[in-house]
Homo-oligomer: A and B are copies of this chain.
Amino acid sequence: MTRILDAQDVDDLAVGAWVLGTGGGGSPYLNHLNMQRIAADGMQFELIDPQELDDQARVAVVSTMGAPLVMQERLQDPRDVARAVEVMAEHTGSTFDAVMATEIGGSNAFQPLMASAHLEIPIVDADAMGRAYPEAQMTSFAIGGLQPWPLALVDPRGVEAIVTQVPTWKWMERASRALTIETGSMAATCKAPRSGAEVKRWGVANSMSFAIHLGAEVRKARVGHDDPVAAICSAADGQVLFTGKIVDVDRHTTGGFLRGVAKISGLDQYSGSEVELDFQNEWLVARLENQVIATVPHLICLLDATSGEAIGTETARYGQRVALVGISAPPLFLSSTALEYVGPRAMGYNLDPVDPCP
Contact = CB atoms under 8 A, between A and B. Distances in A.
Contacts of A165: 158-160
A78 to B, nearest CB: 19
Contacts of A183: 175
B167 A164 contact: no
A334 to B, nearest CB: 30
A162 interface: yes
Interface string A131-172: 000000000000000000000000001111111111100010
Interface string A84-96: 0001000100000
Contacts of A158: 165-167, 171
A174 B161 CA distance: 12
Contact of A175 (B161, B166, B174): B161
A159 B182 contact: no
A161 B160 CA distance: 11
Contacts of A174: 182
A258 to B, nearest CB: 19
Contacts of A163: 159-161
A179 interface: yes
A100 B177 CA distance: 31
Contacts of A175: 159, 161, 179, 182-183
Copy total for this chain: 2
Interface in A171-187: 171, 174-175, 177-179, 181-183
A152 to B, nearest CB: 8
Main secondary structure of the interface of A (DSSP, over half): mixed
Interface residues of A, number: 22
Contacts of A162: 161-162, 164
Contact of A161 (B157, B164, B181, B182): B164
Nearest to A167: B158
Interface in A33-51: none
Contacts of A177: 182
Given A87-B164, A158-B167, A175-B179, 12 more contacts: A157-B171, A159-B163, A159-B165, A159-B166, A159-B167, A159-B171, A160-B164, A161-B162, A162-B164, A177-B182, A178-B178, A178-B181
Interface of A: 87, 91, 157-167, 171, 174-175, 177-179, 181-183
23 contacts: A87-B164, A91-B91, A157-B167, A158-B165, A158-B166, A158-B167, A158-B171, A159-B163, A159-B166, A159-B167, A159-B175, A160-B163, A161-B161, A161-B162, A161-B163, A161-B175, A162-B164, A174-B182, A175-B179, A175-B182, A175-B183, A177-B182, A178-B178
